[in-house]
Amino acid sequence: MRPVGGRSALASMAWLFAGNAGQQVAGFLIFLVLAWTLSPVEFGIMALAAALVDLLTVLGRFGQVEALLQRPADERADSTSFWILVASGVGFLGLVLAVAPLLSDLYANPLIGSALVLLSPVPLITNLSQVPEASLRRQLRHKSLALRNMAATTVSGLVAIGLAQAGLGVWALVAQKLTQAVVHTVVVLIAEPARPRLTFDRKIAATLVRVGGNISLATTVNALNPRIVDVLVGYFLGLAQLGQLRVAWRLYDFLLQIVIQPVSQVAVTTLARSVADPDALRAAALRYLLVLTAVAAPVFVGAGLAAGPLVALTLGPVWGSAGLLLALLSATGPTVALNFLFGPIMLHADRAGLLSKAAVLQVGLNMLLVLAALPFGTIWVVGAIVLRVYLMFAYNLARIMQVLSVKPGTVWSALGPPVVAAAAMVPACLVAEHAIGTLPPVFHLAWLAPTGALVFVAVLAAGSTLGPWRGYLGTLARVASRFAWRAPST
């Protein structure tokens, strides 16, 4: 195993940002080609098949990467975790095969069952790379992970485009997902070969299952939320409406993966180094919250304001509904930083049980709100999702303040300025868009982007200089420089 050495959090985040940016840009371009080639119904069929496979893939990981990161490198633990993952992967492969014909009958569409049969090995294939991935993340070797993601996205995307152009429809999407899982695993095993022994330590297994179980339950339940929506929208509103919703989610997820996911992944590793010191953990969590909110709030609010012309320009008229759905989803921008950091903070504060409770609460809210909104159509369903996100934001905020002993004023100093500045973008951009009338979408985008950016920076600068958040920009600069120059301790 390679030593961590002096790698800084910024270096790790830089590779994750670069890798995720490259992966997401490549994936987005591939997605655009597929969206111009395939129909909303074909995207809807794949969404239903992926709903089950993705859910079982998340559950089947058993939180083992995060559980292994909580303990020093140990070959016995690695081998024990590997066999736990193999067993769960085989079990879920069989479960997908058993459920496939039932879903075909439920939706009266045999293509759904056939897609599930082809995708059934994905949980097992993914699990083969989990122990090596934990090793790479422990060493902060995010360069290897970034290259893996890029390779998997590119190869699987090229396969999908070729099959779509050949007229194979939904099978292009199925092949994309299966190929991506295979390439992901192969590239990780090349970077960090798995060397499992025929060893299974029951005591270690009990610890790994206990820690990983809480994490797995939380991540699975969180993954369940969009899948519940997929199943309900597909059944009650039709596959075409589901396809529109999935495309809007894909655009929203593009932003999440670029802006939030890299920092969240590094936070899991670097916050672990502050477990023994509550003050250090609090300070580290607030630094991540400060930086992430300053980036996420304007990006998501801006995406919501530009959603209509963005979708019209990139996807074409057949996906018109997706623009409005994306605009609604982007209204969650002020919440995403704190909601994403909730998991790593609770995990490293040794409050993993709260993750499970929060996840169960979130699923209950999701079911209640989405079922209430379904009779009114897809737009109301997305509105219900946004409401659920804000309710969970309030819950997560209260828990973080309690666990870290943080005062409201301290949280405001991290969250408030960029949220207020992002909110100021809304009236300014609406006025700017009205002023240019009915020009083509590209002109709207070229006009809205600099307008929003200038308003955001101007409001932040005014508040930092004159109040009510005097000195905010200086604090932000110091925190960013800390990521750059202070390597995490080993």
What ranges do the domains of the chain cover? 1-227
Q: Are 330 and 465 in contact (CB under 8 A)?
A: no
Indicate the pTM of the whole model.
0.76
Tens-digit pLDDT profile for residues 424-446: 999 999 998 888 877 788 888 88
pLDDT at 318: 84
> What 3-state DSSP class applies to 436?
helix
Contacts of 208 (CB under 8 A, 6+ apart): 62, 64, 67, 68, 77, 80, 81, 84
Q: Are 150 and 20 in contact (CB under 8 A)?
A: no
Residue ranges in the chain whose pLDDT is less than 70 = 1-21, 139-145, 194, 218, 222, 261-276, 482-490
Q: Vertex 225, ends 235 and 375: CA angle to 5°?
A: 40
AA letter at 92: F
Q: Are 281 and 404 in contact (CB under 8 A)?
A: yes
Q: What tokens appear for 191 in the block?
A: 């970077």
How far is it, in rounded angstroms, from Cα 299 to Cα 256? Answer: 10
Percent helix / strand / coil, the chain, rounded to 5: 85, 0, 15
Tens-digit pLDDT profile for residues 56-101: 888 888 778 877 877 777 788 888 888 989 898 999 999 999 999 9
> What 3-state DSSP class applies to 192?
coil
Q: Are 296 and 12 in contact (CB under 8 A)?
A: no
Q: Are 50 and 174 in contact (CB under 8 A)?
A: no
pLDDT at 211: 74
Q: What is the DSSP letter of 351?
A: -
